[in-house]
Each structure stands twice: as structure tokens, then as C-alpha cells.
Structure 1
Amino acid sequence: MITRKVLFLCTIGILCFFSLTAQEKNSKKKVGKQAPVFSNVVYQGDDEIYKKNPLKEDEFYSPVLQGCYPDPAITRKGDDYYMVCSSFAMFPGVPIFHSKDLVNWTDLGGVLNKVSEFNPHDTGISAGVYAPGITYNPHNDTFYMIVTAFTGGLGNIIVKTKDPKKGWGSPIKLAFDGIDPSIFFDDNGKGYVVHNDAPDKGKELYNGHRVIKVWEYDLEKDQVIPGTDKIIVDGGVDLSKKPIWIEAPHLYKKDNHYYLMCAEGGTGGNHSEVVFISDSPKGPFKPASNNPILTQRYFPQNRPNKVDWAGHADLVLGPDNKYYGVFLGIRPNEKDRVNAGRETFMLPVDWSGTFPVFENGLVPMGPKLKMPKGVVNKTGKDGFFPNGNFTFTENFTSDKLDYRWIGLRGPREHFISVVKNGLQINPFPVNIKELKPTSTLFCRQQHNTFSFSTTLDYKPQTESDLAGITCLQNERFNYVFGVTKKGKDTYILLERTKNGESEIISSAKIETKGALRLQVKATGDNYQFSYALNGGNFENLGSPVSGDILSTNVAGGFTGALIGLYATASNNAHPK
């Protein structure tokens, strides 16, 4: 698996900012009647674990955000909770959710939603932005979101707002290196930023050796104060054991002590959460004797209903005056592949003693939690984000497109048009394998067992035209299932791209007199692509194929699989 360090070193020095790309500008021109129109989308999750573990009246499911919503951070103002996650090169950047009770969440879209300010148009999918922090400062009634941006030479940036529901200000570039920043405000109103960084020059002792730094923060200038930086953790809990990737730091204050909570072990099978204590936000920090306070690394790899990679956490005081922690974890499929990506989990936290400890965070995790007293579970109803097994239908008739639909490397608004019969995608001259914004409307794969279907009204005119479904882990690992031309004939095909090398798995000549129905149905590692002509039954296009290339294990990087409604005017997938 690609380490964060490799990605950081490979990207931070080479990414540069550009204005709207040519294909984005061209997308705003009028497109002819032959542009594909998608309608009647149905996504249905069918994971066995939810069937075997139905909820009781006082329970809710964890993960609270299924699919690729990693690196969660959370804050509270009064009765309002706001949570942000990593989004990498997905657009808009940094998804944000709101809740009144930690159980029922509303999707507010993305914090970084202006392409003039955040433009990942030429980055790999695992670049863009990741590991945000969000903090409410009661001293000036302001929310701060701080994040590392691997695009446009931005580096570490911060944005502010009085009300996250009404949008955010422009990014302010911060004058420090490293990744995973978060901001903390002391009781006296003073601000501090903590982040992961490389050791001082010449002092790196081993591969994965990192440090945590703290800076004082000037609230008037919105900038770290030069010369105030200090290393407060070197390597991790015990440097003699060569701990790797101490990162994702958060500062808290409780009972006149300062606590620094960090991830350690890398975002994989050795991932964990550790905590330190000090009498000052600038240290020295002493590790807790009972670290780690959260991990899943000690248990058999073949355990049933496995949750793994737990770490990268943040804490908040819940509505029942009890602490809760949000963190990333994975639920691999039966072949231990990570297709749904790193998801946002939650656990209650016992902070009755000196140090916080995640309740049941050091035993194999189950899928259900007790709700805070007085809360009613409305997930999937009344506009709240769903979890468990759920069905999502989209007919593209609403005035406002659901925020679960996202773009890749650019805004969805640059290529979509709502028309009478559904959603028209105005194709860019870009295919899914290019490091450019694609004309693809994506949602996240949120289950290991699921089906996704859509109705497509489309007549390709040339062999360069293609429209259909894509299942994508990144630009070099994906499936394309679509309709194109071969000579004068219309074909449906399935293309598999692994490590940038593409092959046609199956293809068939078709005749469409009406709309075409497309479907992908996954059962763990097996993905079956099928189609229905002219109102008929679904017919498989070839045999089931492996979802291996849609897993982080095979494709690398940090994202989960995406499912997209895809159109291109630069098709290079040709039927056999």
C-alpha cells in the first residue's frame, strides 16, 4: 500500500494551480441532442451483517458514514455538531455533515466548493485534500477548517465561517510544511496549531519516523507565529521501538491538563490511536501508560465481520454529556479487499479517569451502538444520511441534486444538465483514464454487496462516443461498462483497466429501440455487469469479474471505489 509519506513527497513539490481547463470551458457550450441522458438510478445495499444484526429501538449503526469518508474530525457549538472528512481529488473538497445528536447526520456538501480556490484538475485521485480538522472557537464565535491541499501549490490552508450551513470564506495559505493540521483554542482564547512533520534535517532515524509540531496562532492575522514552532512528540509513544507515522494530532483541555491525541502505526493494519498529557499546550507531553487507546491490530485476520485499520480519531462531548470518538476504519470483503474504502466509525469514550479510552475499541468491533439517551434514529428518513442496508433512488427531478453526487477533479456542474427526461451529461473529450476532470457523476460504493442500475437514453454517433457506468478505484484501476459504436453498429462492452493496461473483457452487438437499462451487481469480490434492452430482462455481459482492481490493496492510494454515470467524447475502448 502506498504510504502517506511517499504520496506527500511525490506530490507536494510538483502540483501547480491552473484556471478552468479547456474541457471544462468547452463543457459549457451547447451540446447536441445525442448527449446521453440518465434516469431512474437505484443503488441498493445488501450486506449480510446488517441482516443478521437488526437495530433495536435504542441502537444505531457504526460506521455512521459508509463508503469513502475517511479521516473524520468533529466539533460542537451548543447543540450543533459538525463533522468533516477527507475527499482527495473528489469535488467539492472536504465533505461536511451536521447533526444535533451524533446519530442523525445531514450532508451539507463540501467546504471547498469553488474551483477558483480549490482546483485538483491535474492530480491523481489520492491527492487533492486530506486529513482536515474542524474547530469551533467560542471566543469569536467562528468555525475553522484546516487541511492540507496537494494541489495548486496551496499546502496547508485554513478557512473560516460563522455558520457552516451558509458557506465558508476563501482559503488562507499557512506558512508551515507537513500534513494533518488541526487547530485548538485555549480557555484564554489563545490559538495553537498542531500537525505532522518530518524530523529536523539530518535527524530522521528510520523510514516512517515523523514528529508532531505545535505553533502559536495569531487570530488577527490568521497565521502561525514565526519562531513559535516546537516538536512535542518525536517518533511516537516510544522512539526506541521505531514507531511509524505519528500523525492526525488533536489537542484538548480537560481538568486543567492538555491532551494530545494522535494516530500511530500508519493507516493500515497496524493503525492505532494514542494519547499524551501535559500541563502546557507546548509540552512536554508524556504518553499514557495504557496506549493504544484504540486499535484492531491484535486480533485474528480471519475473524468474522472484521473491522480493521481503526485510528485517526477525534473526540467530542455528546448530547448526554458523555464523550464520543469518530475515527476511520475499514470493513473488507471476503477476500480481505478494501473496496468501500476507509469509513467513519464512532464509539463512546470513557474519560472518567485521567486518560480517554474508546469503549470496546480494544476488542473486535461490532456493528451497533447504544444511542445517547433521548435520541430517535432517523437515518435514511427526513433528509438524514442513511446507513445500514438502504436503497437510494434518483430520478433527477428535484430542484437540488443530492450532495452524494460528486465530480472528480472538477465540479459536477460543469458537465450536467437537468432535462425533461432525466440528467444529461455533456461529454468532455476526456476518458476515465486521464488525469483531468472527467464528465462522470460519481457516488461512493457504500457496501460490499450492492446493486447499482440506471436507465440510459443514448445513441452514440462515432467510435469516440461512449456512455454508461464506471466502477473506479482510480485512473489506472477501473471498469468501464458502456455503449459505443463499431463501424455502423452499436455495441455494449466491458473494459477492465489494471495498472493502466486496458482490455475488453466482453462485448456484444445490440439494437436499441428504446431506453437501455444498465446494472452492476457486486457480491463481495464478484462484480456482475448486465443490461436490459427495450424493457426486457437483465442479461449478463459475460461472467462475473473480480473486484480486485477496485480495492485499495491492489490499486494503492487512500480512496474507496466510486460508481459513476460516465460519458466521454474521447473513447478508446473498442469492442472485440
Structure 2
Amino acid sequence: MKHTYQCLKKYRIAFLTLMIALFSSVHLSAQQNAPLFSQFVYEGDDQIYKDHPLEEDEFYTPILQGTYPDPAIVRRGDDYFMVHSSFSMWPGIPIFHSNDLVNWTQIGHVLDRKSQLFVQNAGISEGLYAPAIKYNPHNETFYMITTQFAGGIGNMVVTTQDPFEGWSDPYPLNFNGIDPSLFFDDDGKAFVVHNDAPDEGEELYEGHRVIKIWDYDLEENQVIEGTDKIIVDGGVDITEEPIWIEMPHIYKRDDGRYYLSCAEGGTGDWHSQVVFVSDNPRGPYKPADNNPILTQRYLNPDRENRVEWAGHADMVEGPDGELYGVFLAIRPNEENRVTTGRETFILPVDWSGEFPIFVNGLVPLKPKLKMPEGVENKTGQDGFFPNGNFTFTENFESEDLDYRWIGMRGPREDFISVDSNGLTINPFDTNIHDTAPISSLFKRHMHDTFTATATLEYSPQSENDLAGLVNYQRETYHYVFGVTKKDNEHYILLQRTEDGESTIVASTTIDADNPIHLQVRADGDDYRYYFSTNGTDFTNVGGTVSADILSTNMAGGFTGALIGLYATSSNDARPE
């Protein structure tokens, strides 16, 4: 009996050993089939920065290039914090820190946990809209309030006493509409203002919206039922049928009056910033007689270095005691297309009169500004965010990736791993067309003219496997430039997807036994894709293609284009 037991034990151990070996073999095979990216280099080369080099006392605007829209800013002491919309990008709501409004460091994202963010099935331009960030000195707490069009959340607020240390889970708020903002009065009372639809049956025209105010309960983090009131109907002058009054902020001045500043005209070519005044935070509010206080809509469309769509602003006192405003705007390319999205700009604000006005905000915006007194420009140095023309090199040497790398609809940590060899992407069985988490690590396009090069080691096992680069505007508009397999040959191909319809622009066989260098060269509206097997000699695939599908003009939505390191085990792009 004892002998039989020992034999069975030996057989069991042998069986388990065999199973572990088989599992390890399968796991190793799967890892070997996962693409390895060992380097990524992005080089911006826009002509505007060559034509306008910085003097010692100057800095560039936009201060954040690429799709960093809907800026909101707050100051506590010498610290400035700024947040931006992120839609379905993951993590959500990038947050930046500065001590001087010129040199910015990204310190993370406000919403970086699955208990905070619910965008798993949201389209790229859905998810999170228009955050506002405020500080309440009465309880020494920061508040970030926004609208999450995903997961049934709606309007919500999160809090922290230290933005460097993370934020609470969301408190859902009991009101409709979008673009909420908080205001804390000197006496400790709190209010929420936001965009909403007019009362039922009161809609007068397409785009007719109102601004509402509620009293806010700081203990419950909730609006107080029954306190809602319309404080702006339509906009500055409802007889002119203004559209999309939104993103309100209330400021209190030393004169004891309350100033309500809002975007008006929609986030397009009629965008602007307007202002109202009242003796009470709950109104009534009277519009300024010099509205709009910021816009580019009246200017010659043929002007050089055009900036358009300016608006959605927030104001803050600078380190020199002067007032500044951050806002969004776009810079179209030579074909009048927008691929970099809505970027974050800054201007001084003159509030020497009754109402504020953005300095030179009604004339063509310039690419450079004078720095606040006593500030030194360190952008691109010592960890500060770069602007102008710059090179971004990622060798994937640390598990703590740069915050500029983001996922789509899900955490990047769900599909990546980093070791001494580089970045491995473990492919999902979703692909780039899906409105679902995809295994692609993205960064924003920040220039019209740039070169991006990725070094890839990859041996796809079947036609269902693909890895490479993607230029992505949304799930139905993008380019895929990747390596796959057909029969017994490895191929590199370029796929174009327009309005959900995909075509293979070109494909060619390739030797996948050695590292492959994939490259995209963007020159305004012209894109060219190249590969190299030695890192020196590059071969074009597909000739010159248009960036039209990467533009907001064609694809719609609210985001700029992204470039991604992409992999899938559910590939639909077949070589020809």
C-alpha cells in the first residue's frame, strides 16, 4: 500500500512537472509573440518656431501643444494647478503644476483608478468633459468638478488636500447639464454654476442654453435641492440667438461684486469668451458692454500663422501680481485642417477697468509672450514640459513611464510590461476599430511637422497578429502601419480607415527576424510611412497620404490626433 502511494505520488509530481513545463512553454511562446518596443523618438519641426526664435525674456504660447483642451487653473500660495479634458483617454484629467505660469510639470492625472473612471465603452470624444479646479481656503481642500458621460456618472466632484497625493472617488451630483464649476465666497458659502438646457418648452433655437446656479453643501458634497436658478439665458444678447453659453467661472473682486465669465459661440469658429457682473453670486447678472473679451472670429482668414476657436478661459493672478488667462484655441495646417486638436494658450488680462479683457485677445494671436517679471524660461529642462520644437526620446528603461503615455478606455498597465529589454505590449483581442479598451500606448501629436520612429522586435504567428504604429483620431478614422503575417510570409502594411471603412494603401514582404524601425514623417497635411531593417536605410510604403482623416474637420469630435504603439491579436488588416 505504501509502495502504491509512493508511486502515485511520484506520478502526480511528474504530471504536475509536465503541466508546469507545458504551461511555461505556452506562456513563453505567448511572450515571444508579444511585440517588444525598445525605443520611440518623436521630433517636432514646425516652421513657426524656426521663424520666431525666443529671446531671453520670452516664452511660447500655446504653453501645452497638442490635445490639452478646456483648461482650468487655480492658485494656492505659490503653487498653480491646471487641468484639462481627457474624454476617453486613460488615466483621466491630466494635471499640471507650476510656480510661475511658464514652466509646467505634469504631476499625474486626477482620475487614475478604476473606481474613478468609467470610460471602458465610450467613444473617443465621450467620457470626460470640461473640468474645473478650485481651492476652498475655508477647509483647505481642492475640488475638481467635471462631467463624466460614461458609466452613468454624469456631473461629479472629487476632492483632495494635496494634488500631489491623489484624489477621492467621485461624488455624483444631482443635476443635469455639463461644464460645472464651483465658487467659494468669502463667508464660506459654496455654489455650483453650470451649463444646462432651458426649462422644458422654453427652447427658442438650436444651441439655446442657459447658465444655472445652485447652493452647495460642503459636508455632503452635493447641491441643495430646490436652490437652482437660471442666471444667464442664452448668452450676452438672446435676441441675437447666441449658442452654447458654457463653462462658467465666478470671480469676486475687491469691489465686492461678482463676475461671471463664460464661453459663448460653441467650441468652433464662433468661439469666444464673455463676462457678466452682479452684486450677488446668485444674480441677476448684467453683461459687459465690451463683450466678447476674447475671440479670433472676426479676423482675416488668410492671415499668417492663424490661431482660431479661442475661448473656454479661466483667469488667475500671476507671480508678478498681474492677471493671466488660460484658454483653448486651435492652429490649422496649410489645408485648414486641425490635427493637433485644441491646445492650451495663455495671455495677460487687463482688469484696470470695470471688466477684464484679454490683452491682444481680439487681434491675431502671436506665438510668443513676454515672461512675467522675475521668471526664467526652463521649459524642456529639469523635468519641465517642453514647447516649441523639441525631441522626445523614450528608451523604456523605467516601469514609471512618462505621464504623456496614455491608454484608451483602460489602464495602460493592463497590457504593458517594462524590463531591461524595453516595452512589451501583450495584445488584446480587440483592435483599433473597437469602442473598447485597446492595447495601444498613445501620446499626443504636438506638431504639424514631425517625425516619429519606433524600434520593434516582433514575429507575428498568424494573420490575426499585428503590431506597429498607429496615427489615431478616433475609432473610425486612423492609419495603421504594422507588421503581420500571411501564409508563411511576414508583411508590413499601411491601412487607412475613413468613416469606419478600411482599405489597404500598400503592403510588402519583410524580414521580421531582426528589429524593424517604423517611421512616420508628417509634413503638414502630407504623411509618409517608412520602415528600415538596419536603422539607416528607410523604404517608403504607400507613397504620400493625406492627414485629412486625422483632422477634426473630417472626423469630428473634440480631440486631436494621437500616435500609438499598437498591438492586437484580432487583426483585420490583410496584406494584398
Query: Normalised by the size of structure 2, how large is the TM-score?
Result: 0.94
Of stretches 531-540 and 363-372 in structure 1, the one that deviates more from structure 2 is 531-540
What pairs up with 1:344-493 in 2 under 5 angstroms?
344-493=344-493
Q: CA deviation at 1:128?
A: 0.7
Following the alignment from structure 1 to structure 2, what is the Cα–Cα distance between the partners of residues 29 and 294? Answer: 58
Following the alignment from structure 1 to structure 2, what is the Cα–Cα distance between the partners of residues 437 and 30? Answer: 24
Q: CA deviation at 1:30?
A: 9.7
Following the alignment from structure 1 to structure 2, what is the Cα–Cα distance between the partners of residues 259 and 275? Answer: 7
Partner residue of 2:36? 37
Partner residue of 1:23? none
> Do the aligned residues in 2 keep the contact of 1:512 with 1:534 (CA within 8 Å)?
no
Q: CA deviation at 1:476?
A: 0.2
Partner of 2:50, secondary structure, is helix
Partner residue of 1:133? 132
Partner residue of 1:113? 112
Q: CA deviation at 1:108?
A: 1.4
Residues 29 and 431 of structure 1, relative CA distance in 2, 3 Å threshold: farther
Following the alignment from structure 1 to structure 2, what is the Cα–Cα distance between the partners of residues 562 and 181? Answer: 27
What pairs up with 1:49-128 in 2 under 5 angstroms?
49-128=48-127
Matched, 1:174 2:188: no
Q: CA deviation at 1:72?
A: 0.3
Larger CA Rg, structure 1 vs 2 = 2
Of stretches 412-421 and 434-443 in structure 1, the one that deviates more from structure 2 is 412-421
The one-letter amino acid of 1:376's match is E
Q: How many residues align structurally?
A: 549
Partner of 2:32, secondary structure, is coil
The one-letter amino acid of 1:550's match is L
Partner of 1:32, secondary structure, is helix
> Do the aligned residues in 2 keep the contact of 1:94 with 1:130 (CA within 8 Å)?
no
Give the gaps of 5 or more residues in structure 2: 1-26
> Do the aligned residues in 1 keep the contact of 2:471 with 2:562 (CA within 8 Å)?
yes
> Do the aligned residues in 1 keep the contact of 2:258 with 2:279 (CA within 8 Å)?
yes
Matched, 1:186 2:185: yes
Q: CA deviation at 1:119?
A: 1.9
Following the alignment from structure 2 to structure 1, what is the Cα–Cα distance between the partners of residues 406 and 239? Answer: 44
Partner residue of 1:242? 241
Root-mean-square deviation over aligned CA pairs: 1.1
Q: CA deviation at 1:352?
A: 1.0
Following the alignment from structure 1 to structure 2, what is the Cα–Cα distance between the partners of residues 327 and 180? Answer: 15
Q: CA deviation at 1:536?
A: 4.0
The one-letter amino acid of 2:260's match is L
The one-letter amino acid of 1:404's match is R
Following the alignment from structure 1 to structure 2, what is the Cα–Cα distance between the partners of residues 427 and 116? Answer: 24
What pairs up with 1:495-534 in 2 under 5 angstroms?
495-534=495-534
Matched, 1:266 2:266: yes
> Do the aligned residues in 1 keep the contact of 2:458 with 2:512 (CA within 8 Å)?
no
Residues 432 and 89 of structure 1, relative CA distance in 2, 3 Å threshold: same
Q: CA deviation at 1:405?
A: 0.1
Partner residue of 2:339? 339
Q: Which runs of 4+ in 1 moved over 3 A?
A: 28-31
Partner of 2:290, secondary structure, is coil
Partner residue of 1:147? 146
Partner of 1:183, secondary structure, is strand
> Do the aligned residues in 1 keep the contact of 2:42 with 2:453 (CA within 8 Å)?
yes
Partner residue of 2:12? none
Partner residue of 2:23? none
Of stretches 265-274 and 512-521 in structure 1, the one that deviates more from structure 2 is 512-521
Q: CA deviation at 1:542?
A: 2.0
Following the alignment from structure 2 to structure 1, what is the Cα–Cα distance between the partners of residues 30 and 145? Answer: 39
Partner residue of 1:22? none
> Do the aligned residues in 1 keep the contact of 2:398 with 2:418 (CA within 8 Å)?
no
The one-letter amino acid of 1:134's match is I
Query: Normalised by the size of structure 1, how large is the TM-score?
Result: 0.94
* Structure 1 residues 210-266: Cα deviation after superposition (integer angstroms, max 9, x where no partner): 000000111111111111110000000000000000001000000211000000000
Give the gaps of 5 or more residues in structure 1: 1-27
Query: Once the two structures are aligned, what percentage of the paired residues are identical?
Result: 65
Following the alignment from structure 2 to structure 1, what is the Cα–Cα distance between the partners of residues 401 and 451? Answer: 21
Partner residue of 2:3? none
Partner residue of 1:539? 539
Following the alignment from structure 1 to structure 2, what is the Cα–Cα distance between the partners of residues 29 and 363? Answer: 61
Following the alignment from structure 2 to structure 1, what is the Cα–Cα distance between the partners of residues 122 and 168? Answer: 24
Q: CA deviation at 1:421?
A: 1.4
Q: CA deviation at 1:399?
A: 4.2
Partner residue of 2:18? none
Partner of 1:364, secondary structure, is coil
Following the alignment from structure 1 to structure 2, what is the Cα–Cα distance between the partners of residues 315 and 536? Answer: 49
> Do the aligned residues in 1 keep the contact of 2:432 with 2:438 (CA within 8 Å)?
yes
Q: CA deviation at 1:79?
A: 0.2
Following the alignment from structure 1 to structure 2, what is the Cα–Cα distance between the partners of residues 334 and 216? Answer: 48
Q: CA deviation at 1:303?
A: 1.2
Partner of 1:554, secondary structure, is helix
Q: CA deviation at 1:535?
A: 3.7
Partner residue of 2:216? 217
Following the alignment from structure 2 to structure 1, what is the Cα–Cα distance between the partners of residues 285 and 118? Answer: 38
Q: CA deviation at 1:512?
A: 3.1
